[in-house]
Structure 1
Amino acid sequence: MNKAYWGSVRFFRHLYTAGFIVLLSLPVCAAFYFWQVGFAATRDMNRIPTESLARDSLEFMGRDVFSYQKKYPDMMVAPAGNRIVSANTVYLTFDDGPSPVTEKVLDVLKHYRIQGTFFVIGEHLDSPAARETVRRILREGHSLGIHSETHRYRKIYASVEAWLDDFAAVEKRLTDITGVRPTLFRFPGGSINVYNSAIYQELIAEMTRRGYVYFDWNVSAGDISNVPVRPETLFANVVSRTPVEKCAVVLMHDSAGKTGTLKALPKIIEHYRAKGLRFDRLQHDTWPVAFGYRN
């Protein structure tokens, strides 16, 4: 090549022309490259045998996601019919019994000629006295419900299966002792709590599918603590938390040591009576007070 060409005007004209052509070709090359990549991906997807897709779908559909529904097939009761909504009514409920306190609570209710509801723990039914107490509950016209077998939150809320195991155990105890199959229950800690937050919707759905009715509360005496609470404080808690709709499901406890609750009970009853409210027990067809689902 002529040395006069290098660095000449013609050289730079050719250089600019070549660079311009390269710049124009880059988008075309890029488009062609991505088209090839997309085509290759589509081609590879089309190579998946149809029978493999069908087999995978059938395996997923056949997977028993709700295998716990097969547990305890006889643990079913007739679902509630028409729900009874009772305005101006108080439902006194007692958790964690039976205990010697339960007998004294029954004496108070008998004195005032009113009925209550007792949600009991299976492990508290080992003694002859405790078994006689639950018979007395039914004999005197109160409602008897299930609370749990062990009341150990981490154990019973470990899974839906664990919950059903616990529930089946206490249900069998009560049925054997009283000859009556309980259909009411209360979740320990309520239907939604920090221990069952991952499975509470499944628990509620499964127990409802089996026909059982659970009850939360809208008034609490505040006696859940193991530390003794003054009767005046418990009474003030109930009075301040009475719902505006005047249908109160009152949470109290009748486990051993709840003497404050026992002492506050007459004053609580008299307070509601003075307001013109009636007392009743929870039943299978009572419209349940339940906590709302959390998003």
Structure 2
Amino acid sequence: MVLNKIITGIFPVLLFCITGQLSLTCAAPSSEKHSNADTTFTIYLSFDDGPLEGSEDINDAVKKEDIKVNVFVVGAHTLSSSRMGRYYLMYEENPFIEIGNHSYTHARDHYKEYYEKPDSVLADFKRNQSILDIRAKLARLPGRNMWRLKDTSINDVSSGKEAADLLFRNGFLVFGWDIEWQHSGETGVPIQSVNEMAALIDKKLREGKTVRRNHLVLLAHDQMFRNGWEESELKQLINKLKAKGNYRFEHLSNYPAD
């Protein structure tokens, strides 16, 4: 990783230029010094892979807390059972939830082979968009933290770059994430504690280490939140962030994409 420090006036602005597997091109951050005490931070809570067990708790959560979230859904999961279909309808009918496209097949979890055929990836996303009648053209690639916005191109690995470019050329905004709330693949239980996540979010935002200054995209997964809402880690995290007073929750359609 090559780090170039650009000095503007007396205040440093860091512009990361990354080569190798991770590539990034974006507009340089503003050199204006921000007072964290006066700054409003925007959180974009996003949940991947649904509908799954846990989707109903997310649906209930956002209604009770009056917060906006995004879900990136998989068509094959939606059509796997009548119950998953009902969960998807709950998402559609919930005004606090904005639905995005996470592909129809989720690459069948064979990512390398999936991304070797960018045209097939595009067809997979178009199929999902059509079958589920997804209104917003917001996409997240399975197994990849890649971004394609107007002035931003970020790749975590080389495999998938062409597919991301193709989706963007076909009108999709491709979103990755700034922080992932990780979970056990076997049980779905969150790995980081609520306090650890709250501290990490706060640190990232205050240090300006997000794709867009003062804006943070958080990735979680539906299957992480299978407990009753009152006991869930998600509720605890939301309450901690709300209590700070200068955090708000927004949909990715309102993310500063320029």
If the TM-score is normalised by the length of the shorter chain, which range does it land in? 0.5 to 0.7
Higher helix share: 1
Alpha-carbon distance, 1:241 to partner: 2.4
- Select the residue among 52, 66, 71 that pairs with 1:99: 52
2:218 corresponds to: 250
Matches of 2:52 and 2:120 in 1, distance apart? 26
Matches of 2:160 and 2:56 in 1, distance apart? 35
Aligned pairs for 1:1-295 within 5 A = 87-126=40-79, 127-141=81-95, 142-151=97-106, 152=109, 153-175=111-133, 180-189=134-143, 190-191=145-146, 192-194=155-157, 197-200=158-161, 202-223=162-183, 225-228=184-187, 231=190, 233-242=192-201, 243-244=204-205, 245=208, 246-255=214-223, 258-259=225-226, 263-276=232-245, 277-283=247-253, 285-288=254-257
Alpha-carbon distance, 1:88 to partner: 1.4
CA contact (8 A) 1:90 1:279 kept: yes
Alpha-carbon distance, 1:233 to partner: 2.7
Higher strand share: 2
1:32 corresponds to: none
Deviations 1:21-66 (A, max 9, x none): xxxxxxxxxxxxxxxxxxxxxxxxxxxxxxxxxxxxxxxxxxxxxx
Alpha-carbon distance, 1:211 to partner: 1.2
TM-score by length of 1: 0.59
Structure 1 runs of 4+ with >4 Å offset: 229-232
* Residues 228 and 161 (structure 1), Cα distance of their counterparts in 2 relative to 1, 3 Å cut: same
Matches of 1:162 and 1:198 in 2, distance apart? 14
What code does the residue aligned with 2:179 have?
Answer: V
Query: Percent identity between the aligned chains?
Result: 28
Alpha-carbon distance, 1:133 to partner: 2.1
CA contact (8 A) 1:94 1:251 kept: yes
- Gap regions ≥5 residues in structure 2: 1-38, 147-154, 209-213
* Residues 241 and 114 (structure 1), Cα distance of their counterparts in 2 relative to 1, 3 Å cut: same
Count of residue pairs brought into register by the alignment: 194
1:20 corresponds to: none
